[in-house]
């Protein structure tokens, strides 16, 4: 009797396993053949699911965004205030720092490679980023896109700063500082509506 394979689950498994490879080697340094070998599949199998490395990467980033949104949304209470939702975002980044650093490394390396090839934009990733930002706005309850962007920039910058300074930079202290600044700005924004 033939083995029944859930194609979507298998595709997600391939993506999940390739995440570590991209994080370790970088987008530019790894080939489809190396990915297939590391995953224990043939290159034909890999190409059956992904027409090229870029498509594999784009689908991986989409899956990572889904994971991030699910991780955040499942951690929230239905009646959480904006302040507690911001605090939860900082907590999640702190608790999953390695995961978020890997995402940051993988995406930065991809964009570096694209720029080396003369590609200055990627419509798929731009659309995905816009969708992710809209999801974040909905989940945080912050509907000012500049404020949502500021939150994302701050968290990404915090990850990078911790690379340089390690535990000298405290998530808790930065969270408290950010929330006080952020809430002051949010009050001004809401008063102007």
Q: Give the span between the Cα atoms of 172 and 178, in whole angstroms.
A: 10
How buried is 184 (Cβ within 10 angstroms: 0-12 exposed, 13-18 middle, 19+ buried)?
exposed
Q: Give the span between the Cα atoms of 153 and 63, in whole angstroms.
A: 21
Token pair of 95, please?
């608790």
Higher pLDDT, 125 or 67: 67
Q: Give the span between the Cα atoms of 36 and 23, in whole angstroms.
A: 16
Token pair of 119, please?
């590609």
HEC-encoded secondary structure of 34-82:
HHHHHHCCCHHHHHHHCCCHHHHHHHHHHHHHHHHHHHHHHCCCCCCCH
DSSP-based three-state secondary structure for 1: coil
pLDDT-derived band of residue 1, with 50, 70 and 90 as boundaries?
Answer: very low
Whole-number mean pLDDT of the chain?
A: 89
On the question of pLDDT at 13 being above 80, the answer is yes
| DSSP string computed for 143-188 | --HHHHHHHHHHHHHHHHHHHHHGGGS-HHHHHHHHHHHHHHHHHH
Question: What pLDDT, in 10s, does the model give residues 74-111?
Answer: 998 877 888 889 999 999 999 999 999 999 999 999 98
Average pLDDT for residues 33-38, to the nearest whole number? 96
Does residue 140 come out as left (phi exceeding 0), alpha (psi in the -120 to 50 range) or beta? alpha
On the question of pLDDT at 179 being above 50, the answer is yes
Whether residue 63 contacts residue 16, with contact meaning beta carbons closer than 8 Å, is answered with yes
Q: Give the span between the Cα atoms of 124 and 110, in whole angstroms.
A: 13
């Amino acid at each position: 009797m033939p083995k029944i394979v859930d194609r979507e689950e298998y595709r997600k498994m391939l993506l999940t396993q390739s995440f570590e490879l991209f994080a370790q080697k970088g987008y530019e340094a790894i080939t489809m053949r190396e990915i297939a070998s590391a995953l224990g599949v043939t290159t034909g199998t890999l190409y059956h699911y992904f027409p090229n490395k870029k498509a594999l990467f784009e689908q991986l980033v989409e899956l990572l965004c889904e994971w991030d949104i699910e991780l955040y949304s499942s951690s929230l209470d239905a009646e959480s205030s904006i302040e507690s939702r911001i605090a939860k975002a900082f907590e999640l980044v702190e608790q999953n720092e390695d995961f978020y650093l890997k995402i940051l490394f993988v995406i930065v390396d991809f964009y570096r490679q694209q720029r080396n090839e003369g590609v200055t934009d990627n419509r798929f990733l731009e659309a995905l980023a816009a969708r992710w930002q809209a999801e974040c706005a909905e989940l945080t309850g912050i509907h000012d896109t500049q404020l949502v962007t500021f939150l994302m920039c701050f968290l990404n910058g915090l990850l990078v700063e911790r690379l340089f300074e390690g535990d000298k930079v405290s998530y808790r202290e930065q969270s408290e500082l950010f929330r006080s600044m952020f809430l002051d700005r949010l009050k001004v924004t809401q008063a102007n509506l």
